[in-house]
C-alpha cells in the first residue's frame, strides 16, 4: 500500500509514450458440435457419423468420474480406483467401437470375390480419411 501511495505522488515519466488503451480479450466462440466428430458424413453424404459413445453411456461414465473426483477427500484410494475403472471402461468401449468401424470400412471395399468400383473406393477413402482425422483430433 505504501508503494502505491508513493508511486502516485511521483510526476509522470516524460520519456515514455502514453499507454495505449487495452481492449478486453474475447475468447473464441465455443463450437456447437463435438470437435471429435466431423461435420458431415462418414457413412452417407450429408450425415454426421455415429458418435463413438452413445449419449447415455457418456453421461453414466461422466457421472461416475465426477463422483470419483468429489469423493477424493473422504476416500482417496477408492476415488482413484473408481476413476481407473471409468478409464478402463472408456478405453474398452472405444477399442471395441473402433474395431467394429474398421471391419465395416474394410467390408465396404475389400469383399472377397468382387472388384470394387471406383465410386465405392472413393467413398471408402473418404470414410477412412474422416475416421482417421476424427481420431487425430482427440
Query: Could you state, in order of their start, the residue ranges of all structural domains in the chain?
Result: 53-138
Q: What are the percentages of helix, strand and coil residues in the chain, rounded to 5?
A: 55, 0, 45
pLDDT digits 0-9 by tens, 111-124: 766 777 888 899 99
pTM greater than 0.85:
no
Average confidence (pLDDT) over 4-17: 62
What's CA 109's distance to the chain center, in Å? 29
pLDDT digits 0-9 by tens, 50-82: 788 899 999 999 999 999 999 999 999 999 999
CB 116 within 8 A of CB 124: yes
What value, to the nearest 5°, has the Cα angle with vertex 136 and ends 133 and 138? 120
| 88 confidence band (pLDDT: 50, 70, 90) | very high
Residue 95 has pLDDT above 60, yes or no: yes
Amino acid at each position: 500500500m505504501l508503494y502505491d501511495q508513493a508511486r502516485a505522488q511521483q510526476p509522470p515519466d516524460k520519456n515514455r509514450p502514453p499507454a495505449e488503451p487495452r481492449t478486453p480479450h474475447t475468447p473464441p466462440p465455443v463450437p456447437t458440435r463435438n470437435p471429435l466428430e466431423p461435420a458431415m458424413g462418414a457413412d452417407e453424404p450429408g450425415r454426421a457419423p455415429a458418435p463413438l459413445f452413445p449419449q447415455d453411456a457418456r453421461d453414466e461414465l461422466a457421472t461416475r468420474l465426477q463422483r470419483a473426483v468429489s469423493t477424493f477427500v473422504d476416500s482417496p484410494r477408492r476415488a482413484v480406483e473408481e476413476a481407473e475403472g471409468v478409464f478402463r471402461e472408456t478405453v474398452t468401449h472405444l477399442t471395441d467401437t473402433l474395431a467394429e468401424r474398421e471391419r465395416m470400412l474394410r467390408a465396404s471395399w475389400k469383399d472377397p470375390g468382387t472388384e470394387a468400383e471406383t465410386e465405392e473406393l472413393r467413398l471408402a477413402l473418404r470414410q477412412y480419411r474422416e475416421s482417421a482425422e476424427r481420431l487425430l483430433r482427440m
